[in-house]
Amino acid sequence: MKRFVSILAALALCLCLAAPAAADAAPASLKFNKPEGATDGTFKIIQVADPQDFILSCQITQDFIYDLAKTEKPDLFVLTGDNVSTGGASKLPKFLAKALVWLSVQNLMHVFDRVYKEFGIPMTMVYGNHDNEAGPSKVSREEQFEMYKKHKCFLGYYDADADGGTEDEQGQHYGTHKLAIKNSAGDADAFNIWMFDSGSYDIGGGYSCVQQPQVDWFNSANTARLPSIAFQHIIVKEIWDILEDAAQGDPGAIPRKITVDGEEVTTYIKLPDAPNVTGGLREVPGPGGRNFGQYQALCDGGVLALFVGHDHVNTYQFKYTDKTDLVNSPCTGFGSYGDIDLRGARIITLKESDLTTYETSLVSFQTFYYFTGHPLRDARLKMYQSMGTPATLLDWLSFKPLLWVLGLFDK
């Protein structure tokens, strides 16, 4: 135990020494960008889903986020849960569990501090099911939220009207909030971003969901009915109203295990073959077990789209004319499972001249860095794919110096 504490202290010291200085001022209000001479204002969001790292974030993920900020110049980063994975701290004493969660959050936020300091790009986040698996009695959602709040780049906040009374097996939901985007003139709110904490696990042991008080908060806070989009970790239960039954061998069909008359059987599902459906389905979606009417409220409230993560290899987008679009983004991090051709981020662009729609695309590590034709970059990606977080040490000793010498890595 003494040796472990010494290692922990050394890690904390290294992170503190490596952390960039915080900015002097809090982020300015979000607003549409309209450069001089431009005919339209825009607002760009990059969604980062499921980094899911513990203590030492994968360096390749941090490099990717920084390089995206530098090249895409978004106006906001949004993290949609499983930002850190805290289950490894669940069996430790409380003070050690809290220290390890703090280290994980600080390391994750290191790149966003740098992005904010260099480019002025803020970020916000909501939790996923892995974020507080250390246990609410050791590190509550509230305590972890305070760790994020100490970073100047962070725009999230706690709203008691949204999250009060949302108890489930893992404690209260925490950090549900709304961000307004002002018009390019900066004199009026033009668009809303809704951030929902979809919880961890419900009392039945399945995944949780957005609770009734959060739905009531949304309805009361949405009286202006501004155009908007929403983000959360876990997909809504209505996904099962959209997916179709399939037969084994059907194009795009994937297996799903269900219990029938007490026995487990395998059935098959697929995306509907329809013009409003794009992207892919590679794993069975994992919505919460209960339904408090959130999706219907979003549809009634005029929300354009709900963006989620959680299912690491799904990329589907259901577009509607009369309902809220459902959009799943693949994982960004290497701390858990994922497919090598999908790991990346989602870019969402809003245009001030037409706020009834949005543009979105996925950018993977492979396509962003043009790995084809660069064996070292391809080997680095495969190393992380195989090793996850432990690859960071080997990366610093091998690939990063080589890539820098060859001009393929600039930091």
Res. 14: pLDDT tops 50: no
The reply to whether 133 and 267 lie within a common domain is no
Q: Would 205 be classed as within a structural domain?
A: yes
d(CA 53, CA 331): 12
Instruction: For residue 182, give every residue at least 6 positions away whose Cβ sits within 8 Å of its Cβ, in sequence order, or none.
Output: 29, 30, 31, 32, 188, 189, 190
The reply to whether 104 and 141 lie within a common domain is yes
The reply to whether 167 and 312 lie within a common domain is yes
**Mean pLDDT across the chain:** 87
d(CA 202, CA 328): 22
The reply to whether 236 and 193 lie within a common domain is yes
Q: Mean per-residue pLDDT for 322-330?
A: 97
pLDDT tens digits for range 229-277 = 999 999 999 999 999 999 999 999 999 998 888 889 999 999 999 999 9
- Find the domain containing 269 and state its range: 245-273
Sequential DSSP letters for 47-70 = EE----B-SS--HHHHHHHHHHHH
d(CA 294, CA 237): 9
d(CA 73, CA 279): 25
The reply to whether 220 and 249 lie within a common domain is no
d(CA 164, CA 214): 8
pLDDT tens digits for range 266-315 = 999 999 999 999 999 999 999 988 899 999 999 999 999 999 999 999 99
According to DSSP, residue 289 is labeled S
The reply to whether 358 and 257 lie within a common domain is no
The reply to whether 34 and 93 lie within a common domain is yes
d(CA 172, CA 166): 5
d(CA 221, CA 371): 45
Q: Which comes out higher in pLDDT, residue 260 or 6?
A: 260
CA angle at residue 128 from 153 to 26, to 5 degrees? 10
* CATH code of residue 156: 3.60.21.10
Q: Would 260 be classed as within a structural domain?
A: yes
The pLDDT value given to residue 258: 87
The reply to whether 146 and 214 lie within a common domain is yes
The reply to whether 210 and 108 lie within a common domain is yes
pLDDT tens digits for range 356-377 = 999 999 999 988 876 555 777 7
Res. 1: pLDDT tops 50: no
The reply to whether 213 and 112 lie within a common domain is yes
Burial of 169 (0-12, 13-18, 19+ CB in 10 A): middle
Token representation of residue 202: 């419900």
Q: Would 351 be classed as within a structural domain?
A: yes
Q: Would 299 be classed as within a structural domain?
A: yes
Q: Would 4 be classed as within a structural domain?
A: no
Query: Which of 390, 403, 405, 385 shows the shortest CA–CA distance to 67?
Result: 403
pTM for this predicted structure? 0.91
Res. 411: pLDDT tops 70: no
Q: Would 20 be classed as within a structural domain?
A: no
Q: Would 298 be classed as within a structural domain?
A: yes
Q: Would 332 be classed as within a structural domain?
A: yes
Res. 225: pLDDT tops 90: yes
Q: In this structure, what are the phi and psi dihedrals at residue 108, rounded to the nearest 5 degrees?
A: -60, -45
The reply to whether 177 and 198 lie within a common domain is yes
Domain count, the chain: 2
The reply to whether 154 and 262 lie within a common domain is no
Coil, helix or strand for 165? coil
Token representation of residue 84: 């850190």
What amino acid occupies position 263? E
Instruction: For residue 344, give every residue at least 6 positions away whose Cβ sits within 8 Å of its Cβ, in sequence order, or none.
Output: 64, 330, 332, 362, 363, 364, 365, 366, 367, 368
